């Protein structure tokens, strides 16, 4: 994963919404309004989905604000959190998850479990 300039630091941002449409709107707003990369999309359960973005601290903060605002117009935002200057262990987990998806040029949303 490309690292942001060390002078500005790196950050991880995670947004969780209820439903796919609010999450899609949030991702669209985040990547269009700030210099961030969406590295992960995942189903968290009971109709909730989460997306992770990485970039500099200020761009990630701005992206989460824009994504949260956009998603609220279409549904529920369960949480939005920024992790500025993440610990190397946290960063390595994101790298491990995102590298195969980025290499394939796509994001993965896990299929629905039976009964959802």
How far is the C-alpha of 114 from the C-alpha of 116, rounded, in Å? 6
Residue 57, token pair as written in the block: 């601290």
Range of the domain at 53: 10-95
Residue 28 lies in a domain: yes
CATH number for the domain that contains residue 66: 3.30.70.1710
Residue 94, token pair as written in the block: 């994101």
How far is the C-alpha of 1 from the C-alpha of 105, rounded, in Å? 13
Q: How many domains does the chain have?
A: 1
Residue by residue, pLDDT tens for the chain (116 residues) are 344 444 357 899 999 999 999 999 999 999 999 999 998 898 998 999 999 999 999 999 999 999 999 999 999 999 999 999 888 887 777 667 665 555 555 544 545 555 54
Residue 22 lies in a domain: yes
Residue 2 lies in a domain: no
pTM above 0.85, yes or no: no
Report how far Cα 60 is from the mean position of its chain's Cα atoms: 9
Residue 102 lies in a domain: no
Residue 35 lies in a domain: yes
Residue 103 lies in a domain: no
């Amino acid at each position: 994963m490309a690292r942001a300039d060390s002078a500005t630091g790196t950050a991880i941002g995670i947004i969780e919404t209820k439903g796919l449409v609010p999450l899609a709107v949030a991702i669209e707003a985040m990547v269009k309004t700030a210099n961030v990369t969406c590295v992960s999309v995942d189903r968290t359960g009971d109709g909730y989905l989460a997306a992770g973005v990485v970039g500099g601290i200020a761009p990630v903060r701005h992206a989460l604000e824009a994504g949260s605002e956009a998603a609220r117009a279409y549904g529920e935002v369960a949480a939005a959190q920024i992790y500025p200057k993440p610990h190397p262990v946290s960063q390595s987990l994101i790298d491990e998850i995102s590298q195969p998806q980025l290499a394939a040029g796509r994001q993965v949303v896990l299929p629905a479990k039976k009964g959802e």
